[in-house]
Amino acid sequence: MSKTNLEAIHTWLLRQNTATLDEITGRTTEIIGDATKKYVYDKIITPLLKQGKIDRIRRGLYTAIDPLTGKPAADPIIAASKLRPEYYLGYYPALRLHGTAYSHRAQTHVCVKPRHRFREFRYDGNTYTPIYTQDTWTNIQTVNYRGHPVQVCGKERLLIECLDNPRHVGGWEQTLKSLESLGGVDYDEVAQLLEQRVNQTLTRKTGYILKLLQQNSIFHKHLPQETLRRLENMVQGQPEYLEKGRTGPLNEKWMLYISPRFTDYLRGI
């Protein structure tokens, strides 16, 4: 591989931000004709790694070193979108893509089917965390992020999944303060998704917290009462705890024991 072609690949990778071995092989084929993955690894990737012009994020995934900063160009969202062909971004990166993340987290959640699992890893200060799910298509959309197509869960699924697993957002305070500014939610879609999941605890939590958000956020003031009644009609069975290990009075409408301090998480909204 000539020096000129190596520089061309490096420049292309810098524009791409992050690329897989397959993508680099495809680009190489466009430049010099048919190329195998072994040829690309031996004649392009290895020399560029030795020259310090690219860096390995993990096996089969590479980023360029920015000549102006001397640091990896990799954007966590772009890198995450290339880990698996079937995936979606959820929790913190989804909140970020929807413009509602309350604070920064150096963690990117990649939702994949169990058979597409990968080990959590850390690169350049960011942790890439797999979240396992059997459903990678419901309420998923493709958005343009810095010129790259990225799969992210829709606002309705995002709201539900954050309430189901607030630990992935940093706890209840971070979750509520992020969801507070999540405008444009289709509440009928939220109810429909909950009906499909048949999860009493999640339905109760969603109903109670949507009511809180309606009372405290201008982004949720338009929440229809019909949606709340629809969720309330889904509630059945014995009381449960909103937060594990934290007791409080029973909210009979949502059949939840709720700590008197739970609403403190909304302070500052």
Helices within 89-199 (DSSP H only)? 91-97, 155-164, 172-179, 187-197
Q: pLDDT tens across 174-227, in order?
A: 999 999 999 999 999 999 999 999 899 999 999 999 999 999 999 999 999 999
Are 62 and 55 in contact by the 8 Å Cβ rule? The answer is yes
Of all residues in the chain, the percent with pLDDT exceeding 70 is 99
What domains lie within the chain, and their CATH numbers?
3-74 (1.10.10.10), 77-266 (no CATH)
- The pLDDT score that the predictor gives to residue 244 is 87
- Cα separation, 196 vs 199, whole angstroms: 9
Q: pLDDT tens across 18-52, in order?
A: 999 999 999 999 988 888 999 999 999 999 999 99
Nearest in space to 261 (alpha carbons), one of 248, 250, 245, 252: 248
- The pLDDT score that the predictor gives to residue 4 is 81
Helix and strand counts by DSSP (H, E) for the chain: 11, 12
- The pLDDT score that the predictor gives to residue 3 is 80
Q: pTM to 2 decimals?
A: 0.92
**Main-chain dihedrals φ then ψ at residue 47, nearest 5 degrees:** -60, -40
- The pLDDT score that the predictor gives to residue 269 is 46
SS3 256: strand
Q: Averaged over 90-107, what is the pLDDT?
A: 96
Q: Averaged over 90-115, what is the pLDDT?
A: 96
